[in-house]
Chains A and B, each alone.
Chain A
Amino acid sequence: MIKEVLSKSELEEIPPGKIKRNPDNPRIFFRPKEMETLMASIGKYGIQVPITVYAEGGHYVLIDGERRWRCADKLNLKTIPALVQPKPSPLDNLLLMFNIHALREQWDYFTIANKLPSVIQEFKKLHGKEPNEIELSEATGLTRSQVRRCRVLLDLPKKYKDLLVDELSLPKQSQQLSEDFFIEMEKSLKTVQSRVPAAVQNLDRVRDALIKKFRSGVIGNITDFRKLSKIATSIEKIGVQEREAKMAIQQILSPNKVGIDTVYTEHFALRYDEKKVLISIDSITDYLETIATHKEQATAHLDPELKKRLKHLKEIIDQVLGV
């Protein structure tokens, strides 16, 4: 269907005033600094790549090229080159825009997330069932991981979506809360809820506390949320008592000045390190036991560098164990 639509397109010069925004355009943020670069280029070289529109009721509706159209309008250009296509179906209209951007500059996740429900709805109308992750990925040109990330944002309560919209409409350097922040926070809270459900009483209050901590720098990095997930999984992975994990998580999720990194470093980092060392020891032990079994052949061929390092390791082990 999309191929059919594209093959019927014609190139025309259209006055920007005759073009209207596409209400279904997933892109909702047009950051001035990014527009500036494009405007400077258009001011100098004109519009080199035509926009894509379809005709409807005496005017044209944008399919692709809203930034170019905005720049052309701001620069009061008389006309803008445009590929005029037949009016697409609602689903094709959406998918055309998704696919155009999947091949070019990627939109913000939130932009995509906002339009996914419309894609799902139109897909359902056409195929009689909701698309699964693979179908959604194929239709939109997004990877499955991108679809999952979008869904995390889509599931945010309205209050936090509004907060994110406010942030995303700011110039990049003024933004504090990014989409990645919400994605990382939500993923870790999901882990906490599934592993230590008793640690979270009121999810919105927890979110508010974490946002406040991030804004004030108590949580220094969005990747710290991965440490929160590790605290939640510590019960099963490194044998931490549930009560201890719960207390640590509650300390992090409460409105105080305790950061994730502090709690993790003080109570969990060493144990995770020990676990890692144990795994390494098991692996080395297995290897050495194999060598010991076939001692005569194996030791003769043992790499001198390996021998040297094993000796050094033995010395350190003796030192640590006080032998």
Chain B
Amino acid sequence: MSFDTLTPRLKQVSQGALSFCKKRYGKNGLRIGEAIDDDIGWKPTFHFKPRSSLIIGIEVNEVLYPTALKVAAHDIKLFDYPISVYLGCPLEVYQADPQQRTIQQLRKHGFGIITVDDQGKAVIQCGCIPLAQHIPESEFDEEVRSLPQRIRVAFNTALTTYQTNEGQGVQEGSQIVEALVGTLAEQTVRRGTATRSALTGTAADTIDGLYVLPSFKNHRAALAGARDFLREHRNVASHPSGTAKEAIAKIRRCRSGFFEAVRTTKRLVEAIKALGLRPTIHVT
């Protein structure tokens, strides 16, 4: 099926969105009215591959959050190829959404929005990243809720980075964990429980130094968790992904890594509090 089955208004929106996308992303892999894959329960109005490790699908509809997208979201997230999805709609429909409730819902679920006005001019109202990479704000807020405010803010900044560069975002998360380990070491030295020379070197060395201290006996799980996390995710940003499969694997690793950074931080914060120290960080 091509645009032929659409109403005149949606045909205009499709054409506007298509010309816009061609200009912005090129027309590599452009397919109109074809499925991305048999395993995905959705046939976008059109889709293309702006680069070898990304597919962008556009669903043109009068309805702001069409059922087709709701049904397909799960398949897209699990699919072995990073896919970003935009809803293309008439500008009038976008503007008519009461208090932008549906728009917020679309964004929350990781979809982008392209509007097209009566003259055929297309505008990205809201960008998007591959659905597999997307972290909903509500899920993030729930995770960081119990953290001290300063650390929460640092994770918020890391999330912003993550949304444009997943590897960099996780790296920022790792830096928060490292900073917290640094704080812990600094306060332990100040308290006189360990010497400065015993807690120098990399974050991993510092963790090893803390691990053997008798006062940390009950908090070794938190320290071991931090060490494992840093080993696993510290350099994720510097591992480029060549193929789409590698790209989706990296995205999934980064997504879980980002949450792991938050959880590791939570465990460290609990340990710091239990030791009667102050959980704060100095991230540069």
Contacts and interface: CB of A to CB of B under 8 A. Distances in A.
Contact of A32 (B1, B40, B62): B62
Contact of B62 (A33, A43, A70, A165): A33
B142 interface: no
Nearest to B75: A76
B43 interface: yes
Given A32-B66, A75-B41, A170 B9 contact: yes
Contact of B8 (A74, A169, A174): A169
Contacts of A166: 8
A73 interface: yes
B42 interface: yes
A70 B68 CA distance: 11
Contact of B35 (A33, A39, A76, A174): A76
B38 interface: yes
- Looking at A32, A74, A169, the one whose CB has the most chain B CB atoms below 10 A away is A74
A245 to B, nearest CB: 41
A32 B63 contact: yes
Interface in B35-73: 35, 38, 40-43, 61-63, 66-68, 70-72
A75 B40 CA distance: 8
- Looking at B7, B38, B40, B42, the one whose CB has the most chain A CB atoms below 10 A away is B7
Contacts of B43: 73-76
Contacts, number: 53
Contacts of B70: 43
Interface residues of B, number: 22
Chain A interface mostly: helix
A101 interface: no
Contacts of B71: 39, 43, 75
A39 B8 contact: no
Interface residues of A, number: 22
A40 B70 CA distance: 9
A74 B69 CA distance: 10
Given A70-B5, A76-B35, A169-B9, A32 B68 contact: no
Given A30-B7, A169-B8, A76 B63 contact: no
A75 B68 contact: yes
A171 interface: yes
A186 B245 CA distance: 63
Contacts of B38: 76, 78
A76 B40 contact: yes
A31 to B, nearest CB: 8
Contacts of A70: 5
A165 B41 CA distance: 32
Interface string A32-59: 1100100110010000000000000000
A74 B7 contact: no
A79 B63 CA distance: 26
Given A73-B43, A75-B41, A33 B63 contact: yes
A227 B43 CA distance: 51
A10 to B, nearest CB: 25
A32 B89 CA distance: 12
B34 to A, nearest CB: 9
- Looking at B1, B38, B72, the one whose CB has the most chain A CB atoms below 10 A away is B1
A29 B7 contact: yes
Given A32-B61, A171-B62, A74 B9 contact: no
Interface string A273-310: 00000000000000000000000000000000000000
Interface in A153-173: 165-166, 169-171
Interface in A4-30: 21, 29-30
16 contacts: A21-B5, A32-B7, A32-B10, A32-B61, A33-B62, A33-B63, A36-B63, A40-B67, A43-B41, A74-B42, A76-B41, A76-B42, A76-B43, A77-B41, A166-B8, A171-B62
Interface of B: 1, 5, 7-10, 35, 38, 40-43, 61-63, 66-68, 70-72, 92
Interface of A: 21, 29-30, 32-33, 36, 39-40, 43, 70, 73-78, 165-166, 169-171, 174
Query: Which 10 pairs between the two chains have the least Cβ-Cβ distance?
Result: A32-B62, A169-B7, A43-B71, A39-B67, A40-B67, A76-B35, A76-B43, A32-B63, A74-B68, A36-B67
Given A29-B7, A32-B63, 18 more contacts: A21-B5, A32-B7, A32-B61, A39-B66, A39-B71, A40-B67, A43-B70, A70-B5, A73-B1, A73-B43, A74-B42, A74-B43, A76-B40, A77-B41, A78-B38, A169-B9, A170-B7, A171-B62
